[in-house]
Amino acid sequence: MADSLSLFSNSIVSGSISSTSLPGEPVNLKTNNSYSSKFDILKISESKPGFPFEGSMQAVEDSIAIEEPLEIIIAVVGEERMPLGITMRTPSNDRELVVGFMLTEGIIRHYDEILSIEFVGPETANYGLKNKVVLRLKSDKALDEKKFQRHFLTTSSCGICGKSAIETLGLMHKRETESAFPGIPHRILFKLSDTLKQQQIQFSATGGQHAVGLYDNRGELVCIREDIGRHNAMDKLIGSLLSTGFMDFAISIVCLSGRASFELVQKAIMANIPFVAAVGAPSSLAVELARKHNVTLLGFLKENSFNIYSGQQRVVED
């Protein structure tokens, strides 16, 4: 049995990463690249009443979502460096992930604060990746370690959460504009989860990736990103849009393929996105945070129903 579970090829099925990326490079918002690998597995099935075949054990090839660490280091003019932490992510759109992370963690407010982004260190033997990135800011101010105390080892399943962070977020975030958000009809919201699912290329291949999509107020998909970590998918989405000079966050909707955690609502707030719709359930902290910051939060979004947990004023009947 051990021989049957050997790695096929460590092959990268889709996606690409450049070792050095600079602000201003073109970003394709509709191209949802990601990494997956082929593994040799055993598929077990059991017989069921009414089925004409018995249970079986088969050796088959399976696509697995790749999970790799990415160490993020911040630097300023003068080459002073400070490690922010390590996140476990699916390699792809890594430059956008870092840009989004910098914005949603309150380290930058605008894309033009970034001088360069460079992937450094030795390449991994299995996938040829560089799992360390240095982001240089244009600032020449000394780095304040206390400012970045929230940034330490995170996992792919969840970012860094905590009730005290609600107060911290209030200090970090100041809404730049209070744009008039048009009421979104039920019929538009009912379509979001299905549209998102149709574009989840990597989830269809591996079953192991979360997706986040950004829609305009007419329900048209603007951008989608996937990752093994839901918070990484959100950072990739925001970083992708920020890199293109996108300015309509305040009149957009973000749709989540799973649950709405505190971390995801926090990142939406930091990007000035006032409307979050989740296919799954919200957490208690997510609801508290959404209500505190006047964010519309929907949960259990389906093709014919959803729950409103906050911000009812942005939802209208047809």
Residue 1 has a pLDDT of 34
Residues of the chain predicted below pLDDT 50: 1-27, 30-31, 151-157, 159-163, 177
Residue 128 has a pLDDT of 87
Residue 34 has a pLDDT of 53
What DSSP string describes 103-163?
A: HHTTS-SSGGGEEEEEEEEEEPTTT--EEEEEEEES--SPP-GGGGTT-S---SS-----T
- Alpha-carbon distance of 296 to 217, in angstroms, equals 13
Q: Are 297 and 260 in contact (CB under 8 A)?
A: yes
Domains of the chain, residue spans? 3-65, 68-172, 184-316
Query: Which residues are catalytic, by number?
Result: 158
- Alpha-carbon distance of 43 to 62, in angstroms, equals 9
Q: Which two tokens stand for residue 265?
A: 């609502």
Q: How many CB atoms lie within 10 A of CB 281?
A: 15
Residue 164 has a pLDDT of 52
Q: Are 65 and 90 in contact (CB under 8 A)?
A: yes
Output the CA–CA distances (angstroms, integers) from residue 190 to 41, 54, 193, 216, 306, in the order listed. 37, 40, 7, 14, 8
Q: Are 29 and 240 in contact (CB under 8 A)?
A: yes
Residue 17 has a pLDDT of 31
Residue 7 has a pLDDT of 24
Q: Are 213 and 255 in contact (CB under 8 A)?
A: yes
Which residues are paired to 63 by β-bridges?
38
Q: Which helix (H) or strand (E) holds 168?
A: helix 164-172
Residue 138 has a pLDDT of 93
Q: Which helix (H) or strand (E) holds 15?
A: none
Residue 269 has a pLDDT of 95
Find the distance separating the first CA and the last CA of the chain, reported in whole Å: 58
What DSSP string describes 241-256?
A: HHHTT---GGG-EEEE
The contacts found for 292-300 with CB under 8 angstroms, 24 or more apart, are 292/166, 292/170, 293/169, 293/173, 293/175, 293/269, 295/265, 295/268, 295/269, 297/260, 297/265, 298/189, 299/259, 299/260
Residue 73 has a pLDDT of 94
Which residues are paired to 293 by β-bridges?
none
Per the listing, tokens 């970034």 go with 114
Buried b (16+ CB within 10 A) or exposed e, 46-78: eeeeeeeeeeeeeeeebbbbbbbebbbbbbbee
Residues in the chain: 318
Domain 184-316 fold? Cytidine Deaminase; domain 2 (3.40.140)
